[in-house]
Amino acid sequence: MPKPKNESMAPRRAALYIRVSTEEQARKGYSLPAQKEDLEEYAHKNGYAIAGYYIDEGKSARKKYTKRKEFMRMLEDVKAGKIDVILFIKLDRWFRSVADYYKIQEILDAHNVAWKTTQEHYDTETTNGRLYINIRLSVAQDESDRDSDRIKFVFDSKVARGEVISGSLPMGLMIQDKHVVPDPETADIVREFFRHYKEHGTINGAMTYIRETYGIILWDPSARKMLHNPLYKGMYRDNPNYCEPLIPPEEFDAIQKLLERRSIRQNESGRVYIFAGLLKCQECGQKMTGSHSTDKKCERKFYRCRNATIYHRCTHRRQMGENKLEKWLLLNLPLELDRWETEWNIATSKVKHPKVDRAAIQRKMDRLKDLYVNELITMEQYREDWAKYSAQLQEAQETEPTPPPDFRSLRELLQYELPNIYPTLTPEQHRDLWRSVIQEICLDGDNIPRVIFRE
């Protein structure tokens, strides 16, 4: 059904899509400012109202479109009916994959959204035009694949010759004459780290040994990566003789088996920390981790700040028992909810939201259409006023107060439902329940909790 004549007079809403990959940042005509200026000029010349800017910086067209954050945001606005046309400078800013192009084209067609390039001409209305687009995308994809193959061939050749292709190396290794060699200042420290882990089988113990012996602090994630890095046995990619081994290959392989056995044993323990990932040390801002101790009577789980107990960089040395925290939450969560609601009401009351009569603005826009249809104003006046009123509506929408959380439902859950269902749940269900309600639990130096709820 054709649109009514007065509605068709509204300027089309254009989304300006800009993409530049890292290697294209400096190219003339591909920089972000250059693309933005070109698209804005095109939109103004053709009477489009700019609905928004969608800028993906440092993103390659070879990447899956779902990895482009701004592109996905634009698709959501397409589905929400906020966009009539999408502008970008060239087809290669859009896609280099034929398959991805047709997936997105289906979405655009379903919502009657067109697209245009400012520096190229394409016709999507005819069979020949669509064929031409398909050919161009196929050529662009082929060129991209060829570039990738050439780069891969060069890198493979360098790796086969033992040459460095990255400037980032782990501790104990360094670059000399384009080759990886042991670093005389830290190589022995790495060897001692591996030796200690092989003899004692504990990463924390090896980290503590290195800290106390050499004064070097290894963080848990980087220490684990070191133990798994095959570069230490001289292997990189498919070249087992890439560089001089820092750790003998047979010793490195034995350590991998030890890591695997300990990982399996840890998973088979079935130990569940119901507050894992929720506790944060208020003193240093780091996540608190779960640990346990076992005596003849029972097993005790607790949480501690590793930044304090292991690295000695925080003053929060007190442990929080899991049972103690669980009882505190069941007793005090309704009070914490009251505190959150009070703080939320105070914070929102201080924010002044301008009173905008959206209905009045919409009436002005309707009258504006009538004035133009009756030839009482020019097209230029119509576009100028329409853009002004559209901006006012957009501003009103952005400044509307945020709706409050559903305090009532959450309070009913915590006061009436939770006490009845909690005893029937498994530890895994306890963990999932707390994560669904709580975003974070901050513990100060005296282990006094402060709950931050999920909104």
Give the residue extent of every domain in the chain.
5-144, 173-268, 279-321, 358-398
> Looking at per-residue confidence, does 311 or 316 come out higher?
316
Q: Using the 8-state DSSP alphabet, how is residue 24 labeled?
A: G
Q: Are 235 and 242 in contact (CB under 8 A)?
A: yes
Average pLDDT, the chain: 81
> Looking at per-residue confidence, does 6 or 389 come out higher?
389
Residue 26 in this model has a pLDDT that exceeds 60 = no
Where does the pLDDT of residue 436 fall: very low under 50, low under 70, confident under 90, or very high at 90 and above? confident
Q: Using the 8-state DSSP alphabet, how is residue 286 labeled?
A: P
Distance, first Cα to last Cα, the chain: 43
Quickly tell me which residue has 């826009």 as its tokens.
365
User: What pLDDT does 77 receive?
Assistant: 94
Residue 262 in this model has a pLDDT that exceeds 50 = yes
Residue 49 in this model has a pLDDT that exceeds 70 = yes
Q: How many CB atoms lie within 10 A of CB 411?
A: 15
Q: Are 236 and 170 in contact (CB under 8 A)?
A: no
Give tens-digit pLDDT for 84-129: 999 998 877 676 666 677 788 888 888 989 888 888 877 554 555 5
Give tens-digit pLDDT for 296-307: 677 889 999 988
Name the pTM for this structure: 0.39
> In one letter, which amino acid is 20?
V
Active site residue 148: no
Residue of 8, 21, 168, 293 with catalytic role: 21
Quickly tell me which residue has 């109202």 as its tokens.
49
Q: Using the 8-state DSSP alphabet, how is residue 43 labeled?
A: H
* Residues sharing a CB contact under 8 Å with residue 71, sequence separation 6 or more, in sequence order: 17, 19, 54, 56, 65
User: What pLDDT does 29 receive?
Assistant: 47
Give φ, ψ of 55 to 5 degrees.
-120, 115
Question: In the CATH scheme, what is the homologous superfamily, with its name and number, of domain 173-268?
Answer: Putative Large Serine Recombinase; Chain B, Domain 2 (3.90.1750.20)
Where does the pLDDT of residue 7 fall: very low under 50, low under 70, confident under 90, or very high at 90 and above? very low
User: What pLDDT does 396 receive?
Assistant: 64
Give tens-digit pLDDT for 27-38: 444 678 888 888
Q: What is the 3-state secondary structure (H, E, C) of 144-168?
A: HHHHHHHHHHHHHHHHHCCECCCCC
> Looking at per-residue confidence, does 395 or 192 come out higher?
192
Give tens-digit pLDDT for 156-177: 788 888 888 776 789 999 999 8
Where does the pLDDT of residue 247 fall: very low under 50, low under 70, confident under 90, or very high at 90 and above? very high
Which region among 117-131, 355-369, 376-390 has the lowest average model confidence (pLDDT)? 117-131
**Read out DSSP for 304-353?**
E-HHHHTS---S----EEHHHHHHHHHHHHHHHHHHHHHHHHHHHHHSPP
Q: Using the 8-state DSSP alphabet, how is residue 269 labeled?
A: T
User: What pLDDT does 226 receive?
Assistant: 93
If we measure between CA atoms, which residue out of 26, 107, 30 comes closest to residue 61? 30
Which region among 75-89, 140-154, 340-354 has the lowest average model confidence (pLDDT)? 140-154
Q: Which residues of 270-302 are buried (b: 16+ CB within 10 A; e: fewer)?
A: eeebbbbebbbbbbeebebbbeeeeeeeeeebb
Identify the burial level of 96 via C-beta atoms within 10 angstroms of its C-beta, where 0-12 means exposed, 13-18 middle and 19 or more buried: buried
Query: 3.40.50.150, 3.40.50.1390, 3.50.50.60, 3.90.420.10: which CATH number matches 5-144?
Result: 3.40.50.1390
Residue 421 in this model has a pLDDT that exceeds 70 = yes
Identify the burial level of 193 via C-beta atoms within 10 angstroms of its C-beta, where 0-12 means exposed, 13-18 middle and 19 or more buried: buried
Q: Are 279 and 271 in contact (CB under 8 A)?
A: no
Give φ, ψ of 382 to 5 degrees.
-60, -50
If we measure between CA atoms, which residue out of 300, 306, 257 comes closest to residue 281? 306
Q: Are 386 and 368 in contact (CB under 8 A)?
A: yes
